[in-house]
């Protein structure tokens, strides 16, 4: 594949705002020339770190460590420099200006990795792994990303493609075989093979919902009647006072979001306004609308009941009606009986009824709740070598392949038609590792990267 352009690009690989040192990357055909101009040093030995002055005209702008990577043995596959500068906002903006004057333009998001892909340093699935590893916030997300980066996901895609390619080849020789010299394919063997391949594709596609939760976090809405202790539970899980708590019912109006890490997963918690049957206050009505919206958006609902009221028939019934409404969304729900500290042992057994007993006040039951969360969402059962799809581009390609395979099975008795669907399934699978990926898909993949990677 030819390199899509000849520009030389530069960008900081480190975060814009913090740190003592900033790492600048310069990649492309003019990089040696540009760095020589800035440093007044003619040549750089590849992979050797040297301390040099960076000049701004006759003035020294900074003392910097420079490492040169000669293409193709570099991250991008081109001549590439990594320059460690002092992270002064002035130095950082000035060096980009000096480079621009030498014909080096700022890099776009993901452009170094896009070049690495176009120069054959990695396939598209692995490039996705680069973005995922940078974004990984916990052990599980990190593991899934490392699998992708290591090429294990690519290998899986390639194995499926190989099997399908072999089968298609068999079909195609028979389509070309007008004299019918070859025995026809035995559909009693072809069909189970196609089904097996489709099952593998479907399994990978099905891992997307888990993969997405692992990567982005489990969206969890805290729902219940007013005053049940939703905001208190949010604060207790977080370990600090994020939301306002008060004995008055109807305290929370806006939804409040916060993140925590539990059992190696990320939880995106949303505290919501308590839902009651009637309210004349427009702000509260809007708050309740947002609570219901939070349920719609959630992967998981924590439904909070008030232990102080659990033994009162009318209150328990109101809570039950709301729970039934939430259940109708089909979302996964964990019911929690909060304020357990107000109950004696006998009342606890009476009231709990399958709910998880917690006290946001004392912290009682929170660990059990955390375990229940990972269990309910199915992440507790994740195996060591489970491969997870985390990219929407991969997911869609797999769905497309699965649909084509289904069609191929349906028309299995018509060799030509069936082969056509298998060809389409193969094309979708090729998109996954970027063998034939159209440019718009590449743009989607790489636009999600940070600048400097």
Ligand X SMILES: Nc1nc2c(ncn2[C@@H]2O[C@H](COP(=O)(O)OP(=O)(O)OP(=O)(O)O)[C@@H](O)[C@H]2O)c(=O)[nH]1
Residue ranges that bind Mg ion, judged by CB under 5 A: 230-231, 251-252
Say if residues 83 and 77 touch (Cβ distance below 8 Å).
Answer: no
Spatial CA neighbour of 265 closest among 142, 388, 130, 391: 142
List strand residue ranges (DSSP E) for 43-150, in order.
Answer: 49-56, 59-69, 80-86, 104-106
Q: Which is nearer to Mg ion, 189 or 257 (CB)?
A: 257
Q: Least distance in Å: CB of 226 to ligand X? A: 4
- DSSP letters, 394-407, are HHHHHHHHHHHHHH
Residues numbered 193-252 forming contacts with ligand X, rule: CB under 6 A: 224, 226-232, 245-247, 249-252
Please provide the size of the chain in residues: 453
18 Cβ contact list (under 8 Å, min separation 6): 87
Q: Which is nearer to ligand X, 339 or 400 (CB)?
A: 339
Whether the upstream peptide bond of residue 72 has omega within 30° of 0, thus cis, is yes
Q: Least distance in Å: CB of 252 to Mg ion? A: 3
Q: Which is nearer to Mg ion, 174 or 230 (CB)?
A: 230
Q: Which residues pair with 22 in a beta bridge?
A: 85
Q: Least distance in Å: CB of 274 to ligand X? A: 3
Annotate each residue in 402-431 with x if it binds ligand X (CB under 6 A) or - if it does not, as one string.
Answer: ------------------------------
Q: Least distance in Å: CB of 297 to ligand X? A: 19
Q: Least distance in Å: CB of 272 to ligand X? A: 8
Annotate each residue in 328-347 with x if it binds ligand X (CB under 6 A) or - if it does not, as one string.
Answer: ----------xx-xx-----
Q: Least distance in Å: CB of 243 to Mg ion? A: 6
Residue nearest ligand X, Cβ-based: 274
Q: Which is nearer to Mg ion, 138 or 249 (CB)?
A: 249
Q: Which is nearer to Mg ion, 76 or 252 (CB)?
A: 252
**From ligand X, Mg ion, none, which one binds at residue 247 (CB under 5 to 8 Å depending on kind)?**
ligand X
452 touches ligand X (CB under 6 A): no
Residues numbered 351-370 forming contacts with ligand X, rule: CB under 6 A: 359-361
**From ligand X, Mg ion, none, which one binds at residue 165 (CB under 5 to 8 Å depending on kind)?**
none
Tokens of 46: 């590849």
Phi-psi region at 224: left, alpha or beta (left = phi > 0; alpha = psi -120 to 50): left
Query: Which long-range CB contacts under 8 A does 377-381 form with residues at least 24 apart?
Result: 377/213, 377/218, 377/299, 377/300, 377/332, 378/210, 379/140, 379/210, 379/213, 379/214, 379/218, 379/263, 379/265, 380/263
Spatial CA neighbour of 4 closest among 438, 430, 450: 438
Q: Least distance in Å: CB of 355 to ligand X? A: 13
Spatial CA neighbour of 301 closest among 215, 239, 206, 377: 377
Q: Which residues pair with 55 in a beta bridge?
A: 60
Residues at the site binding ligand X, with contacts judged by CB under 6 A: 224, 226-232, 245-247, 249-252, 273-274, 338-339, 341-342, 359-361
């Amino acid at each position: 594949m030819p390199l899509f352009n000849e520009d030389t690009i530069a960008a900081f690989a480190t975060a814009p705002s913090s740190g003592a040192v900033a790492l600048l990357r310069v990649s492309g055909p003019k990089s040696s020339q540009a760095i020589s101009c800035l440093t007044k040093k003619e040549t750089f030995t590849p992979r050797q770190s040297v301390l040099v002055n960076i000049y701004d005209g006759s003035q020294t702008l900074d003392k910097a460590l420079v490492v040169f990577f000669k293409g193709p043995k570099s991250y991008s596959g081109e001549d590439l420099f990594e320059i460690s500068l002092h992270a002064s906002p002035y130095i950082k903006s000035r060096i980009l200006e000096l480079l621009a004057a030498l014909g080096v333009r700022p890099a776009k998001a993901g452009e170094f990795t896009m070049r690495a892909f176009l120069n054959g340093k990695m396939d598209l699935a692995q490039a996705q792994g680069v973005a995922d590893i940078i974004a990984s916030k916990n052990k599980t997300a990190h593991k899934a990303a490392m699998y992708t980066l290591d090429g294990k996901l690519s290998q899986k895609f390639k194995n499926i493609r190989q099997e399908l390619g072999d089968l298609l080849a068999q079909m195609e020789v028979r389509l070309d075989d007008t004299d019918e010299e070859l025995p026809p394919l035995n559909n009693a063997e072809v069909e189970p093979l196609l089904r097996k391949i489709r099952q593998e594709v479907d399994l990978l596609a099905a891992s997307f919902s888990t993969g997405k939760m692992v990567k982005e976090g489990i969206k969890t809405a805290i729902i219940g009647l007013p005053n049940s202790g939703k905001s208190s539970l949010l604060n207790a899980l977080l370990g600090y006072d994020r939301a306002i708590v008060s004995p008055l019912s109807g305290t929370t109006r806006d939804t409040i979001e916060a993140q925590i890490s539990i059992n190696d997963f990320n939880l995106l918690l949303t505290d919501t306004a308590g839902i009651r049957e009637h309210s004349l206050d427009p702000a509260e009505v809007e708050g309740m609308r947002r609570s219901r919206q939070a349920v719609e958006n959630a992967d998981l609902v924590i439904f909070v009941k008030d232990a102080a009221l659990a033994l009162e028939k009318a209150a328990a019934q109101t809570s039950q009606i709301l729970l039934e409404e939430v259940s109708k969304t089909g979302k996964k729900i964990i019911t929690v009986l909060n304020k357990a500290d107000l109950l004696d042992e006998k009342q606890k057994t009476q009231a709990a009824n399958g709910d998880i007993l917690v006290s946001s006040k004392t912290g009682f039951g929170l660990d059990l709740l955390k375990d229940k969360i990972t269990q309910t969402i199915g992440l507790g059962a994740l195996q060591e070598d489970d491969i997870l799809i985390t990219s929407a581009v991969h997911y869609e390609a797999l769905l497309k392949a699965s649909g084509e395979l289904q069609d191929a099975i349906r028309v299995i008795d018509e060799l030509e038609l069936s082969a056509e669907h298998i060809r389409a399934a193969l094309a979708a699978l090729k998109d996954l590792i970027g063998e034939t990926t159209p440019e718009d898909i590449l743009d989607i993949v790489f636009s999600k990267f940070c600048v400097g990677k």
